[in-house]
Amino acid sequence: MSRCNDENSTEGEVLAIMGRFFAFDPERFPYAGETLVIKEKHNLSHVGYDGGTGLNVWDGAVLLARYLEKRPQIVMNKRVLELGAGCGLVGIAAAKLGAKDVVMTDLQYALPLMRENVENNTSNDTHQKISCQECDWSKPPTLNELFQSSNDGKSEIFPDVIIVADCVWLSALVAPLLRTLKAYTSNSSTSVIISYQQRGRDVHDSFWEGVHDMFEEVDDIDTEKTVGLSKPDVFHVLKCQRRSTTRN
């Protein structure tokens, strides 16, 4: 969930998140015919501006993983980039569903647990196509830096799909996330799949407006109608696409 270290961010905002809507057992998560074990850790309020939220699996990650399980073609044989990957559930899920290459990113503090979960849930073949990289939205690395194992050094790498699971709960995170998405979708063929839980009105309005300003196509997917996946109304799964990279 999270992902920028912003020294100028408002420190008065406090994480206040309701209990789980979706079933999640870190010791046993049935998925695509397998059983995943996704370890979590207690939030560390002194770690990162996000209060260590990258050390837990949030409802939005479970929702997005389940949606991809119903629509594996979204990631199958695709180059996938995940922003704010946290414990790694959704990125690992994408690899299990046949993604060609998966780069999961978050702040530095989240990477050891993310890598541990990759080690515990992937075979040698699957592990080779997953990497865990640092990405601070206030100063994001280039795509070539993130996809360094796939880069021949001669051409710019673009992901086919960017996935973002429940990464917006503070207003200070909205602008850095949107700037990062803008930088990483300069190739209009890149699709962005976002799971999002609506919490505060100000955060929601800022995020909703920013997403619709950036992307010409924003589809708020009815998961129950399309794939039989029910969810409360406060949760959204968005498919976003830029039709043109022309800039004024």
The two tokens of residue 62 are 């479970």
Mean pLDDT, the chain, as a whole number?
Answer: 87
Report residue 43's pLDDT band, with 50, 70 and 90 as the boundaries: low
pLDDT one-digit tens code per residue, 135-170: 999 999 999 999 986 655 567 889 999 999 999 888
Rounded-to-integer distance, Cα 216 and Cα 62, Å: 27
pLDDT one-digit tens code per residue, 44-94: 555 555 557 888 999 999 999 999 999 999 999 999 999 999 999 999 999
Q: Give the pLDDT of residue 13.
A: 42
pLDDT one-digit tens code per residue, 226-247: 999 999 999 999 999 997 654 4
Q: Percentage of the chain with pLDDT > 70?
A: 82
pTM above 0.85, yes or no: yes
Rounded-to-integer distance, Cα 134 and Cα 84, Å: 10
DSSP for 47-108? Answer: STTTTTGGGS--HHHHHHHHHHHH-GGGTTT-EEEEES-TT-HHHHHHHHTT-SEEEEEE-G
> 210 pLDDT exceeds 70?
yes
* Other Cβ atoms closer than 10 A to 188: 15
Q: Give the pLDDT of residue 73.
A: 98
Type of residue numbered 222? D
> 117 pLDDT exceeds 90?
yes
Q: Which of 177, 17, 161, 140 is nearest to 91 (CA)?
A: 161
Q: Give the pLDDT of residue 235.
A: 96
